[in-house]
Amino acid sequence: MGRKLEGWWGRWFGGGARVTRRGWDGWQSAFPPADGGDRQVDPLTELRHTAYSCASLNAAVCASYPPRLFALVGTGQRLGFATRKLRPEALERLAWPGGGIPEGVEVRQVDDHPLLELLARVNPEQDAQELWELTTLHQECLGSAFWLLEGDGPVPETIWVLPPDRVTPMRQAEGYGTTGYAVRGATGAVPLGVDEVIHFRYPDPRDCYTWA
C-alpha cells in the first residue's frame, strides 16, 4: 500500500487515463474492446431482463443500509472513540461466532471512527451509495467484487472499486491460497499485493479457494 494513485492508475489504464477530482479522463480508452471492434464489451451486458433487474434491486437495497461498526469492550476498558450501548433487541440481532458473546465483555456500537469516515467519503469520484451498490452488483452478476485500498495508515485513505472481470487472484505455487492479484489493463497486467485488495466473493463449487 502507499503507492500514489497516479502511479498504478497510469500503468493500469495507460498514459492517457488519469483520475482527477474534476472527473475521470480517458475512461473509454482504458479498456479496449474485447472483440477488436469499436463496441465496448463488458460481462454485465450479457445479463438481460429479469436477472439484471433482480441483481440491480438487490444492490440498491443493500446500498440503502449504511454500514455499522461495533466494538467489544471489556470491564473498565476505555476506548479512544465514541460508542453507545445497544438495546437488547439490537443485540439479539447480531450474529456471533460460536453462538454467544464472551463473558466479561460488552458489545457497543461505534459512532465516530476513521473507518466510518472512510466508508462515507470512499474516494473523490464516488460516494458510499455507489460503492456498496457496485460491490453488491458485481457479486450478484459475476460472483466476486474487489476493492483497491490506498493509503499508508491503519485505515486506508481511499477505496476504489476494481472491475472484477479484469482481476485475477494469483495462486500459491503449491497448496491453496492467494498471494496477490493481477489487474489487466490497456498496457498489460498490474500486480497488487494481498494487503492492497479486499476480495468479496460468493462460494463457487468449481473453485473453493480462489476466483479466476
Global pTM value: 0.70
User: Is the model more confident about 76 or about 154?
Assistant: 154
Residue 211 has what pLDDT? 57
pLDDT digits (tens, 9 = 90+) for 163-198: 998 999 888 777 677 889 999 988 889 999 999 999
Are the C-beta atoms of 63 and 69 separated by less than 8 Å?
A: no
- Using the structure block, give the residue that is written with the C-alpha cell 474485447: 34
Domain boundaries, the chain: 5-44+116-201
Q: Which of 156, 203, 197 is nearest to 179 (CA)?
A: 197
First-to-last alpha carbon distance for the chain, in angstroms, is 23
* Cα separation, 100 vs 92, whole angstroms: 10
State how far the alpha carbon of 36 is from the alpha carbons of 28, 33, 39, 41, 118, in Å.
14, 5, 8, 10, 39
pLDDT digits (tens, 9 = 90+) for 58-100: 888 888 888 899 988 887 788 888 899 888 888 877 766 666 7
